[in-house]
Structure 1
Amino acid sequence: QLVDHLFRHEAGKMIAVLTRIFGIHNLELVEDTVQETFLKALQVWKYRPVPDNPSAWLMQVARNQTIDLIRRQQKLSGISEELATRLRSDTEHTIEEFFLDTEIADSQLRMIFTCCHPSLNPEDQVALTLKTVSGFGVTEIARALVSTETTIQKRIYRAREYIKKHSIRFEIPIGTALQDRLETVYTVLYLLFNEGYNSVKADELIRHDLCAEAMRLCKLLSEHRIGAHPTTYALLSLMCFQVSRFDSRIGEDNTIILLQKQDRSKWDRDLIHVGYHYLNQSSDGDYLSVYHIESAIAAEHCLSPDFASTNWKSLLYLYDRLLERKPIPIVRLNRSVLLAQMGDLTAAIDAILDIEDIGDLLRHHYIYSAVLGDLYGRAGNLAEARRLLDMAYHLTTSLAEKKLLREKLDALPQ
């Protein structure tokens, strides 16, 4: 169990450092070296006490294996250009420099930027990031993203082949290229967090491990000079606000607890305080990202002592600003819910029906049928409410969502 825990938390760091040493073209060699390091830990720790600092022990073993591999190399093609440039007669001292804490963090960021290359499609970026940066196994990734292992393996293979074929550099971009790539990194971290926050897994609405990993990577980015950016802080604050409500979102019997019924005393006030800290840091500069607005929306909910005290007018203003920058159906749907909370059910229903391609959305995404059905029920159109809620019930795979929808259906007057 200890080795499994360490693999999750240390493998990504080790892969990043070794990739920086051996080059992205030797990723398989890197992963084999990491596997050998953990196998050695399993063998040694069976018969000897676990060291006081097992993470440092693992890094030391990886470092020693790296030195041995380089000394056995007959060709410089087996190492990265960076190492070839820095390598002199003192191999051991040169390798040691790559394992300094600051260099490990730098290597992890290089790996994140490599995995989030804008030429890769988003699905491949997420899968490759989870596998290479976060130490997730293929089975775990498939389970987390509700896909098959074969599909995930294909995504990872496709991404790696593209990186090799196009000689994608293992580096943090500079200049205008940095800002473009940062946007891609934000998108991947946002997608990763959202999958954890509202998982499509049948038996697990919240994937705490995915949310924690997204926050870890975002915090790592915020602590480096290239990522100490207002948008990074805004995204990190959004994550803090959302995670602060985890304990109140799900009941003991895996039942969804809607916002209006949540016990706000269970909200993590310390984490909310951290969220405000990062939101304040994000206010520097003159650029307003979608993450700033989404974080402000989440902060507005955290400010309210109870559901009835929510400042709906302020939220509507924020959603209008968000819609200007992010004119997608889910934002329009959330805005319509606000209209309903403000007492205008007709406007809320019309706003949903005005969403472009709403027919396709109703047929394929349960959330649209669920929200529209709920609004029709509150407006007294029981037949349409029953039809739409039943449609949503059959569209979702989440057991918790099904239970909530069944309760809504049963609560409709006959």
Structure 2
Amino acid sequence: MILDDVLRTPAAIRDAERHTAHNYHPLPVVIATAEGSWVTDIDGRRYLDFLAGYSALNFGHRNPVLTAAAHAQLDRVTLTSRAFVHDQFAEFCSRLAALCGKDQVLPMNTGAEAVETAIKISRKWGYRVKGVPADQATIVVAAGNFHGRTTTIISFSDDPDAHDDFGPYTPGFRIVPYGDLAAMAEAIDETTVAVLIEPIQGEQGVVVPPDGYLPGVRALCTDQNVLFVADEIQSGLGRTGDTFACDHESVVPDVYILGKALGGGIVPVSAIAANSDVLGVIKPGQHGSTFGGNPLACAVAIEVVKLLESGTYQARAKENGAYLLAELRTLIGNGLLAVRGRGLWAGIDVDPELMTGREACERLAERGILAKDTHGSTLRLAPPLIIDKDDIDVAVAALRAILK
């Protein structure tokens, strides 16, 4: 048994907190190494990662194919800026466009940047193509959304932590209840340029919409000449058992917003994908990023797309995700109030009379499982897509133990 006075973790956490803004409240774990579905802290304790960087690590920690691509590119060129073209750019764009079934992509870095890009493109399309009067464009969004934390994005968040005290807020957004087609139809008018939604709401607790909702959104957008913009940053790239969460109902949005897993857990990579009649509205000088589409990012993302082209990871998420959800549902009435999810993505509601979500995560960490709480007593579970059933059993056993 390691005594507290010889552990390195407490001092490391104190040192980290001394020189950082407290915009996060991390669990008391200091990770030093990782491989596959497991991480090891600075004191040598191993943990099963059931968060996977909010889906950024879909292919596991230090996936050998992805790390090899990064190492090879590091020896060649890492950054040119978009002032020039580099030799990884065309393949990345063409492969990602093909994966999405779209003509073009616009690469950026972070998920929030990709959402901002989609908002700008939607507005410009509305003015140049749909004919919305200048500065009158509106975008319909859903309550309970999470699309990032920039000032524009938090302007249409109803989460007080993300929203309050950051005004004045950006106008032009209409919030309707998630899953309510009638409310969405009522919110759309001649000024509406886009509907921006998550096919599954992650931050809200992995909320899956009612059957028929996504096809209904698609039909509304088509009928009203409005862009359907799907934020697949967390739900996309294999997480739900298909390449995109929209695929489960055979829905094709006008714009995909992608990020997180696109960088393989190595570098931040994001993008939007759409056809040329949408992305063609943007002209040189109107949008960009110094690091967007850089050679290192493209080299890694090319291999990510190749992994997805095989369908292996999607199939694994579907099979093992069904197993995970079935095992979790055995705990309903035994400490859990509800289980939601699709693929290897689950939201579970712990009975608040037992503990908060934070307390549940702390107790799981004590048993070697890393997870993240959200909104009271709700936990999000999102292990790497490479996880096997034996490791799922380990995690569910730990959860069962803390709920007693």
Same fold (TM over 0.5): no
Structure with the largest fraction of helix: 1
| TM value normalised by structure 1 | 0.22
Larger RCO (alpha carbons 8 Å, 6+ apart): 2
| TM value normalised by structure 2 | 0.22
